[in-house]
Amino acid sequence: MNRNTHEPDSLPVPDADARAASMALVALIRDEIAAAGGWLPFDRYMERVLYCPQLGYYSGGARKFGRLAKDGSDFVTAPELSPLFARTLAQPVAQALEASGTRHLMEFGAGTGRLAAGLIVALEALGVGFDSYSIVELSGELRARQRETIEALAGPLSSRVRWLDALPERFEGVALGNEVLDAMPVKLFARMGGIWHERGVATRDDALVFEDRRPGERGLTLSDDDSALLSAIDAEIGVDIDYVTESHAAAAGFTRTVCTMLGRGAALFVDYGFPRSEYYHPQRTGGTLMCHYRHRAHGDPFFHPGLQDITAHVEFTRIAEAGVETGADLQGFTSQARFLMNAGITDALGELDPTDAVRFLPVANAVQKLLSEAEMGELFKVIAFSRGIDGALDAFGRGDRSHTL
C-alpha cells in the first residue's frame, strides 16, 4: 500500500511550512473520505491535491516550473527550455489567425508566462495583428509570475494580456494548451484475476492508501464510456494479465468544452501521450500515472499531497473524439518534433552563428531536447481542432498521424 507517510529515500524532504500545508490538505481529504463512506475515486483525490484552493499543487504558492531542483521547481516545460519553441509555434498560430480572420488568442494554464511572452513578441515581428491575449489561470501565484515575465519580455505589448477566471461561452481566435491535458484528473482501474476494479483512496491508521472496489460493490457504478473502455481493453489484450490503467473523462470533457466554445479559429494542444492503440498496450501493465517532485519522477501519489505534481499521459484518441463530437474539424495530429520542424524551428536555429559556441551550443542543445526521439520529440504530440479554416495548417503538412487515432 502507498501511504502519505512514505518518503522515498531519493526525494528531498520539504521544509516545515510546506509539510504543514500538506498535512492540512491531508486532513481535509481524510474528512472528505469519511463523509463519503470511507472511499474516494482516484480522480476526486487527484482533483483535490492539485486544485484545492490555497492548498492544492496548482492553486497553492509553491514554485513549479524551472530548470533545476535547487530553484524549488519540479519540472521544466518546452517554453522554459528555449525561446525558439514559442517563436516556432507563432508560425502556425499566425496562419490560423489569418485563415480564420480572427484577432484574439487564449492560453490555458500559462505556466511562467514565457510561452505567452514569446508568442506576443514573435507575432509582432511577423506583422500579424492581434487584439488580445487571454490567459485562463487558477493560481494566484502563477498569475503574478506570468504578469512579471510578460511585462519583462514583451514590454508595451503586455498591455494586450488579460487574465480570466473561467472559459468564456464563445471565443473566436486561437486557443493554446501546453501540458494542460496531462494535469486533468484521471480515473484509475485495476484488473486482477480477470476482474476489473476501480482504484480509489481510503484511510488506514490515518494514512492515505489505495483501495480497489468492484463495480456494484457498495454502490459503485461505472459510466457507459468507462464500461465500454474496459471491455475494449479486454478484447484487445485478453484477460490473462493483471493490468492498471487510466481513463480520461476530465480531459475529454475539457476538450469538448473548448471546441464547443470555439466559434472560428483553432485550438492546439501540446502534451505527452499516445493514441489509443498504443496507450492500452499489453506491455503497459502499470499505467502511466507519474508524480514529479524537484525534477525527479516517482510513482507515489501519497508523497506529501499538494507539494508534488501528479500527471498521466494523454490518450489522444479520446481527445480527438471529444473535439470532433462538437462538430469541430480535426486539423491534425503529429509528434512535437515533426510539428516544430514543419513550422521552421531548424531554420530559426540556422540563423545563429555555429562558430559562436557560447551562444549557439545552449540553443542547439535545447532544440535537440525538443526534437529528439529520446527526449521530448516523439513522446510529446500536437493535436489541433478548427472551425472556419479551409485546409490544414502547414505545421501538419508532413508526418500527420491522424490516421492512427
| Structure confidence by residue, pLDDT tens digits, 281-316 | 999 999 999 999 878 889 999 999 999 999 999 999
User: In the beta sheet, which residues pair with residue 190?
Assistant: 197, 244
What confidence score (pLDDT) does residue 263 get? 97
- Ranges 15-19, 209-213, 359-363: which has the least confidence: 15-19
> Could you tell me the three cell numbers for 242?
493483471
Task: Write the DSSP assignment of 149-205 as a string of letters.
Answer: HHHHHHGGGGGGEEEESS--S-EEEEEEEES-GGGS--EEEEEETTEEEEEEEEEET
DSSP state of 215: T
Q: Considering only CA atoms, which of 173, 140, 179, 142 is closest in space to residue 258?
A: 173
The grid coordinates listed for 203 are 484511510
Amino acid identity at 85: F
**Own/partner long-range contacts of 75-78 (Cβ < 8 Å, ≥24 apart):** 75/292, 75/295, 75/309, 76/295, 77/111, 77/178, 77/179, 78/115, 78/178, 78/179, 78/270, 78/336, 78/370, 78/376, 78/380
Q: Does the pLDDT at position 6 exceed 50? A: no
| Predicted confidence band of residue 8 (pLDDT cuts 50, 70, 90) | low
Neighbouring C-beta atoms of residue 192, cutoff 10 Å: 12
**Nine cell digits for residue 160:** 494586450
- Own/partner contacts of 212-217, CB < 8 Å, gap of 24 or more, are 213/39
Domain-wise residue ranges, the chain: 1-405
Provide the phi-psi class of 249: left if phi over 0, else alpha when psi is between -120 and 50, else beta.
alpha
Q: Which CATH class is domain 1-405?
A: alpha beta
- In the predicted model, is pLDDT for residue 67 greater than 70? no
Question: Checking DSSP bridges between strand 207-213 and strand 104-108, what pairing results, if any?
Answer: unpaired
C-alpha–C-alpha distance, residues 267 and 197, integer Å:
35
Angstrom distance (rounded) from CA 184 to CA 200: 16
- Is pLDDT above 60 for 262? yes
| Cα-trace Rg, the chain | 21
65 by DSSP, 3-state: which? Answer: strand
Pair type for strands 296-298 and 262-274: unpaired
From the list 41, 311, 313, 46, the residue with the least C-alpha distance to 199 is 41
- Residue 205, pLDDT > 70, answer yes
Pairwise CA distance, residues 100 & 70, whole Å:
44
Q: Are 85 and 115 in contact (CB under 8 A)?
A: yes
Residue 2: pLDDT over 50: no
Mean per-residue pLDDT, 54-58 = 90
**Residues 107, 142 contacting (CB under 8 angstroms):** no
> Torsion over CA of 349, 352, 358 and 359, rounded to 10 degrees?
-70
- Write the CB contacts of 205 (distance below 8 Å, at least 6 apart in sequence): none
pLDDT tens per residue across span 356-395: 888 999 999 999 999 999 999 999 999 999 999 998 999 9
pLDDT for residue 63: 54
Length of the chain: 405
CA 166 vs CA 11, 57, 148: distances in Å: 35, 19, 21
Inter-residue contact 208 to 49 (CB < 8 Å): no
At 17, the pLDDT band (50, 70, 90 cuts) reads confident
Q: Which of 151, 88, 85 is nearest to 117 (CA)?
A: 151
The mean of the pLDDT values for the chain is 92
